[in-house]
Amino acid sequence: MANQKKTLAELQRLSPTEFATTEKLPLSLILDDIRSANNVGSLFRTADCFALQHVYLCGITATPPHRDILKTALGATTTVSWSHHPSCPALIQELTGAGTQVQCLEQTAASTPLTSFRVTPPTPLALVVGNEVKGVAQEVIDLSHGTIEISQYGTKHSLNVAVSGGIAVWELARQFRLSKIEPPGKT
């Protein structure tokens, strides 16, 4: 069959050991006050799929080994580098002081459409995704370099945080790959 599903061997995925030693994209996620551990697990899985540098868990965001995170992460909590920080604003100040560009995934008066935003390699980029109901806190937005917005065309004002995070990471990772910073296993 011409359109047969690929086997695990044909997918040529890295082993956890290979993943640990491979170069990561200079892209991290900051999960601020995410209520659902299932969303956290989904974003860990996204971070693994795109070989992101780190996942920062802030505020009330659950941390591994929470069972709902483990259920949706499917092992990504053991492959992706992560840390917990009680204060997202303090983390953003630390990251920006170290030269990381911080962008929030949020709808604001000055947000840049995701399709118009451009990464600036080799500058590391951290993307903040916020609470499922309240979004990214204004204090966090004020400390960040800017906001990125996913264009939407229906009646709802937002996407699920794990879905929006996945969409944004896909586009940002695509741009990093195009800038010649190749993800693991791709040359």
Question: For 15-41, how does the pLDDT look when each residue is reduced to its tens digit (9 = 90+)?
Answer: 999 999 999 999 999 999 999 999 999
Question: Does position 9 have pLDDT exceeding 90, yes or no?
Answer: no
Q: Which domains does the chain have, with CATH numbers?
A: 22-178 (3.40.1280.10)
The alpha helices in the chain, defined as continuous H runs, are 8-11, 16-21, 37-49, 67-73, 76-79, 88-97, 138-143, 161-178
Give yes or no for a contact between 31 and 58, defined as CB atoms under 8 angstroms apart.
Answer: yes
% pLDDT > 90, the chain: 90
Pick 8 or 68 by higher pLDDT: 68
Residue 35: both structure tokens together: 């209520």
pTM, rounded to two decimals: 0.93
The DSSP letter of residue 79 is: H
* pLDDT-derived band at 187, boundaries 50, 70, 90: very low
From the list 148, 138, 43, the residue with the least C-alpha distance to 89 is 138
**Span between the terminal Cα atoms of the chain, in Å:** 28
In the predicted model, what is the mean pLDDT of residues 73-90? 97
Residue 182 to residue 17: CA distance in whole angstroms? 19
Q: Which pLDDT belongs to residue 8?
A: 81
Query: 11: Cβ–Cβ under 8 A, 6 or more apart, which residues?
Result: none
Q: Can you tell me the mean pLDDT for 100-120?
A: 98
- For 119-148, the pLDDT digits (tens) are 999 999 999 999 999 999 999 999 999 999
Joined together, the tokens standing for residue 171 give 């586009």
Number of residues assigned to the chain: 187
In this prediction, residue 2 has a pLDDT band, given cuts at 50, 70 and 90, of confident
Question: Does the pLDDT of residue 117 top 60, yes or no?
Answer: yes
